Amino acid sequence: MKISRYFTPGQLIGLKKTGDVILPGTDRSPSFSETGSIDVVDRMAAHLTPADLGGLRTVLGAFRWSPRWLIRGVLSLCAHSEKFPDIIGAGLRTLEIGINGAVMSLYYSNLHSPEYTGKAVFDVIGWDARIVTRDSPDVAAETPVDIRYESPSDSDIEAIFHRAREAQHNLQGWPVRKRLEFIDRLRQAILDRQEEILDRVQKDTGKSRTDALTAEIFGTLDHLDYLKKTAVKELADRRVPTPLALMGKKSRIYIEPMGVSLIISPWNYPFYQAIVPITTAFVVGNAVVFKPSGATPLKGLVESLLDDADFRDGWVQVVYGEGGRIGDALIDQRPDKIFFIGSQRVGRHIMKRAAAQLIPVELEMGGKDPMIVFEDADLHRAAAGAVWGAFTNTGQSCTSVEKLYVQESIAKDLTKHIVKATQRLNLGCDPDGSADIGPMTTRAQVAVVAEQIADAEENGAKILTGGHWDRRSADIPPMVITGVTPGMRLETEETFGPVLPIITFRDEDEAVSMANDTDFGLSASVWTNDLVRADRVTRGIVTGNVSINNVMLTEGNHHLPFGGAKQSGIGRYKGAFGYTCFANVKSVLIDKNSSKMEANWFPYTPTKYRLLSDLTRQLYSPGPMSLLRGMITGLKLEHYVKKLGKHGK
């Protein structure tokens, strides 16, 4: 049963039950529910008056919980309405007309659900409902435009955006609560198809199954749960205070969709980084054009899940192909917002192209994330956190630990714990959760890791684990490295692989200075038993996200915003900021429709200037007497303005 814009799921159940009471079907004809004609109920409801629609909703809501014998009884009373007093009889006749009208209109529309395979109702009753005139030849129904979504041409992309803009007008008319019904369906579809999704993610990325489960499935479902719990409140109109100087007026904030959002996602978390921004933009009311990475496109999976969730045509469209040409063509269609997660190189290009057309952008472009461990931290926990933070998803995360800063006094012991934990890790793309990390996803990133390791070795770094790697295989063993010094590529560039450089520091000031000595500022973690120091260091690091005594955890809380500082990106998404990321935040000030003139409007006179000057000083000077004087001056000013208006000035 499709999601309705006008009826709740319970009301649709009531309609389905009532329809089967009125039209139970015969050996030749289908029942009301068999045809699935209830799926087109919105086409009928759109033409009802608000009062009629409200009445129908109420009745169907009551029938939702009524047994079929009771519904038959009510309809029987309606059929004998003439036996009742006028006012009761009139009510019963109205009820009969409304219920029968709804059921019959749907059943005899000759429309049915895709799942229905029986004869159409018109074929059963032998009725041809077409209207043909001698002057007008038969005209075939308009054929939908055939759009190619894989390696689309420029004309295909133009058609995709045209379709998105039309679909967005439809979507914007659905209330937020209704959009959340689609989110509920999507959540259930993901749960029902969890193993299939994991298979597809592993096939495209090579990551371990547990990594795929925790990051791609669990994280996505947690996000959908966040939307369900917060969207109605966060997207509701907001009342804000109005200052005394604007007394009598009201101030509001409206959170409205921007229009069509272009979302470009990375290859490292192809499912999570598809569903999270798509559904956020959708709940706000935007249509989405989605471009996945060519390396891990999960071809057809997102569309299939959205179809299971009953998303309407055009609300979300997925475009596949080579990033450069297609990406430029998508931007040139002037989407209302561009949301991008990926490399700095591509992010800069997108920003430059978008700037030429003043398209707002949201960019998350990676990091070189530090983990700072002080001497009072629990070494076993810190070692376990460092190993997971550096090697989860084979280090292919924008918030992976890429530099471990350890206080000198504990460096030797902590390194020993880390090496031991690293050597226990299992490598492989497993079907059953037995592997810890999988192979690298792209050949290009394998080459980046190899180049950085070679540069580090040439400049004196020491490889403690994984030194047997052949520098070519995608099965890179997790590597722990010491002797990393400033200027090495491993110290300055994003690695995006299973490599953990360990660097020592003397004191707090040096640790903060070293952590900030980078162009990146996406994430960090601070480990210490002294929470006052932890807070001080957290405030000192220039970054978008910090986990204290944990690692990569801020992104695990969907109430927190996510984004970077410096060259790690622009903007924030997730949490309440995730909604405004895809929204036009509209300020509204409401005044009465009256003949009253404003004091700051023309004409200006010396008297008005003196009164305004007095009012300014009195309103913003301290003390209750100043405020009282300001109120008196305000009354004088209002009287003076009214006097000017009477004289036509």
Confidence of residue 199 (pLDDT cuts 50, 70, 90): very high
What is the reported pLDDT for 138? Answer: 38
Instruction: Write out pLDDT tens, residues 254-281.
Output: 999 999 999 999 999 999 999 999 999 9
User: Considering the domain 369-556 in this protein, what is its CATH number?
Assistant: 3.40.309.10
Judged against a pLDDT cut of 80, whether residue 136 lies above it is answered with no
pLDDT higher than 50, residue 191:
yes
Q: Report the distance separating Cα 639 and Cα 629, nearest Å.
A: 15
pLDDT at 139: 36
Closest CA to 317 of 166, 115, 141, 113: 166
Given a cut of 70, whether residue 132 has pLDDT beyond it is no
Alpha-carbon gap, residue 448 to 490, rounded angstroms: 10
Say if residue 126's pLDDT is above 80. Answer: no
Please give the structure tokens belonging to residue 538: 């957290």
For 212, which DSSP code? I
The edge-to-edge listing of strands for the beta sheet with 545-548 is 462-463, 479-482, 499-505, 401-407, 369-373, 523-527, 545-548
Least confident of 465-469, 524-528, 569-573, 644-648: 644-648
Residue 118, pLDDT > 50, answer yes
Enumerate the β-bridge partners of residue 586: 254
The encoded tokens of residue 58 equal: 């109420």
Query: What's the CA gap between 353 and 516, in Å, rounded?
Result: 30
Q: For the chain, what percent of residues have pLDDT higher than 70?
A: 97
Tell me the average pLDDT across 575-604: 94
pLDDT score, position 129: 56
CA 197, distance to chain mean position in Å, is: 19
Total-model pTM: 0.91
In CATH, the number for domain 154-364 is 3.40.605.10
Judge whether residue 134 has pLDDT over 80.
Answer: no
- Maximum Cα–Cα distance across the chain: 102
Q: How far apart are CA 465 and CA 419, in angstroms?
A: 7
Please give the Cα distance from 7 to 177 (Å, whole number). 11
Tokens of 437: 């990390």
pLDDT > 90 fraction of the chain, expressed in percent and rounded: 83
Helices (H), 153-193: 154-172, 176-192
Report the b/e string of 342-379 with b at 16+ CB within 10 A.
bebebbebbbebbeeeebebbbbbbbbbbbbbbeebeb
Q: Which of 70-74, 155-159, 346-350, 490-494 has the lowest mean pLDDT?
A: 70-74
Q: Which residues pair with 256 in a beta bridge?
A: 584
Confidence class of residue 130 from pLDDT cuts 50, 70 and 90? low
Give the span between the Cα atoms of 146 and 359, in whole angstroms.
28
Q: CA torsion, points 364, 368, 374, 380, in degrees to nearest 10?
A: 90
Q: What is the pLDDT of residues 16-62, one digit of tens each?
A: 999 999 999 888 889 999 999 899 999 999 999 999 899 999 999 99
Tokens of 569: 């990106």
* Residues labelled as active-site residues: 364, 398
Query: H or E segment at 226?
Result: helix 219-234
Cis previous bond, 85, omega within 30: no
pLDDT in tens, 287-332: 999 999 999 999 999 999 999 999 999 999 999 998 889 999 999 9
pLDDT for residue 458: 97
HSE-up of residue 198 (Cα within 13 Å, Cβ side): 20
For the chain, domain boundaries: 9-125, 154-364, 369-556, 606-646
Between CA 471 and CA 447 the distance in angstroms is 8
Q: pLDDT per residue over 213-258, tens digit each?
A: 999 999 999 999 999 999 999 999 999 999 989 999 999 999 999 9
Q: How far apart, in whole angstroms, are the C-alpha atoms of residue 553 and residue 562?
A: 11
